Amino acid sequence: MRLKSLCSSLALAASLGLGAGHASAQMGDWTLEKAAKPYAGTSIDVVFLLRPGYEAAEKMLPVFEEKTGIKVNIIKHPYENALGEQVRDFVAGGDFDIALIDLVWIGNFAENDWIVPIDKFTSNPDLKDPELDIDDFFPLVLNAFGGWDGKIYGLPFDNYSGLLFYNSCMLKDAGFDGPPKTWADLKDVYGPALTKDGKYAFALQSKRNETQSADSFARMLWPFGGSFLDAKFRSNLLSKESQMGLKFRQDLMKYMPEGIVAYDHSEAVNALAQGDVAMITEWSAFYSTLKDPETSKIGDCLAIAPEPMGPAGRKPALGGFSLAVTSQAGEKEQAAAWLFIQWVTSKANAQQYLDLGGVPARQSVYKVPGNAEKYDFIPALVESWQEGVPEFRPRFAEWPEITEIVQEWGTKIMLGDVTTEEGAKILGERMEAVLDKAGYYSGKKPLAQ
């Protein structure tokens, strides 16, 4: 079996090599149809989430399938199941040919060799689209979503930055011309003025899942100068800056709806969409939901700004997904998967993806005249992607364990079961125990996040 697969790999490699020489002679002739010809009839499996960017890609898919003859099987999962489904598939040597990678999973996937660096494909002229233009991706997004340890594995696909979505009519009625520039203003000026008559100034989604870690806990660390870890990978949660951020979150809760610890994205988005809260900080991906009159009743009152600044700067939340080819896929499936990834994230398709509700990471599409006016989240998004922090959440392989600890103790802090100091102390000890076991302190693993 191994011999057979080795022979077929060698044969394919030889044919690719021959093809490479041929293709490089005719670089200008590269088309998706020609590149995909050897893989027509190949089926590839990929996990998609139930979010707007994926619906956009699904609508674009028939064109790809028609051009290439490659069948793309989409397996849909809610975010919470996507990691587990993929990990089990990779461990069992399953069927997924494309990995969907949240930026905090990249270290895990890369260290386990579940995904293939893109240079395997970009070095093959038969497979590399001459228009790939890797430098057109926002550098922060490409490196954070698709890069690990100096190599690029995935191309950014479903791209988010935290933005301040607000109801400009509510703000205007309360006497404000624009959104708060700083977190301090949001709490001390806008908070009291907008929290009245059963309405609230702000909702910070804080449900006990990745939302608590990413959207709530981490969001309050970075702008205040805090972080999860210091340079030596020891807990930094008891630092003055981290504590300032966590205490700020506690103080801000009085301007949030009751039961905010049960709010996930859908509840926060819905609260703004129904006019129950005036402001939320949410991922750019929810723009289409908030703009759509069928899912939002605030209509033209919707306005968007970058997240407010803290004492340490803006440091907005950064999140998103890249697509990478899996190492478990056969050679043919790998090539077909790469062609799909390259196509769906391409410069040429970025406009259509944007028009259908996706958020591309291509710089060029945001420079197209008229786009910034048509999609009012663009200026804030572009600004945020200049100022984001790649390690907003650490991206190493231990994050799945650490996020569980953050979720538990982050929520306990919010509920007042423990003080910010007590919670940060326990959280830090448990986080360090995980990192110690992984070998970061003994020097077994490099301090990479």
Partner 1 sequence: MQSRATLFAFLGPAVIALALIGIAPLIYAGYTSLYFFKLTKMRDIEFIGMENYATVLTDPVFWEAMGRTFTMLVIALPLQISLGLGIALLLHRPGLGFLKTLTRLSLVLPMATTYAVVGLLGQVMFNLKYGVVNQLLGFIGIDPVNWIGDPFNAFVMIIFWDVWQWTPFVALVLLAGLTTVPDEIEEAARLETKSWWAILANIQLPFLVPGLVAVLILRTADTLKLFDMVFTLTRGGPGSATELISLMIQRVGFRGFDQGLASAQAIILLIITIVLAQLYIRLLYRNDQDGR
Residues that bind partner 1 in the complex, under the rule CB under 8 A: 83-84, 87-88, 91, 108, 112, 207-209, 257-263, 276, 397, 400-401, 404, 408, 411-412, 415, 417
Q: Which residues of 361-391 are buried (b: 16+ CB within 10 A; e: fewer)?
A: bbbebbeeeeeeeebebbebbbbbbebbbbb
Q: Which residue, 29 or 80, has its beta carbon nearer to partner 1?
A: 80
For partner 1, the closer of residues 30 and 114 by Cβ is 114
* Beta carbon nearer to partner 1, 18 or 433: 433
Closest approach of Cβ 82 to partner 1, in Å? 12
Contacts 24+ apart (CB under 8 A), 9-18: 9/331, 12/331, 12/332, 13/331, 16/124, 16/126, 16/127, 16/335
Nearest approach, Cβ of residue 77 and partner 1 (Å): 13
Query: Of the candidates 447, 356, 365, 362, which has an alpha carbon nearest to the alpha carbon of residue 398?
Result: 447
Q: In sequence order, what are the residues at sequence separation of 6 or more whose Cβ sits closer than 8 angstroms to the Cβ of residue 25?
A: none
Distance between CA atoms of 192 and 174, rounded to whole angstroms? 10
Nearest to 449 by CA among 222, 149, 162, 237: 149
Report in angstroms how near the CB of residue 352 gets to partner 1 at its nearest: 35
Is the Cβ–Cβ distance between 395 and 144 less than 8 Å? yes
**Pick from 57, 48, 56: nearest CA to 75:** 48
Question: Which lies closer to partner 1 via its Cβ, residue 121 or residue 396?
Answer: 396
From the CB of 7, what's the least distance to partner 1, in Å?
27
- Tell me the sheet residues that pair with 160: 319
Nearer to partner 1, 83 or 350 (CB): 83
**308 or 410: whose CB is closer to partner 1?**
410
Closest approach, Cβ 51 to partner 1, in A, equals: 19
Least spacing, CB of residue 411 vs partner 1, in Å:
4
Shortest separation between residue 441's beta carbon and partner 1, angstroms? 16
Nearer to partner 1, 74 or 87 (CB): 87
Q: What's the min distance (Å) between Cβ of 282 and partner 1?
A: 19
Minimum distance between the CB of residue 440 and partner 1, rounded to whole angstroms?
14
Q: Which is nearer to partner 1, 258 or 373 (CB)?
A: 258
Question: For residues 417 and 16, what is the distance between their CA atoms, to the nearest angstrom?
Answer: 61
**What is the dihedral sign for C-alpha 160, 163, 168, 174?**
positive
CB of 87 to partner 1, least distance (A): 5
Of 261 and 317, the one with the shorter C-beta distance to partner 1 is: 261
Query: Of the two residues 86 and 342, which places its CB atom closer to partner 1 in the complex?
Result: 86
Q: And the tokens for 114?
A: 């579940």
Q: Phi and psi dihedrals of 77, rounded to 5?
A: -140, 150
Bridge partners of residue 108, in order along the sequence: none
Please name which of 318, 436, 386, 401 lies closest in space to residue 139, comparing C-alpha atoms: 386
Whose CA is closest to 392, among 161, 207, 203? 161
SS3 317: coil
The letter for the amino acid at 101 is I
For residue 283, give both structure tokens.
């991922």
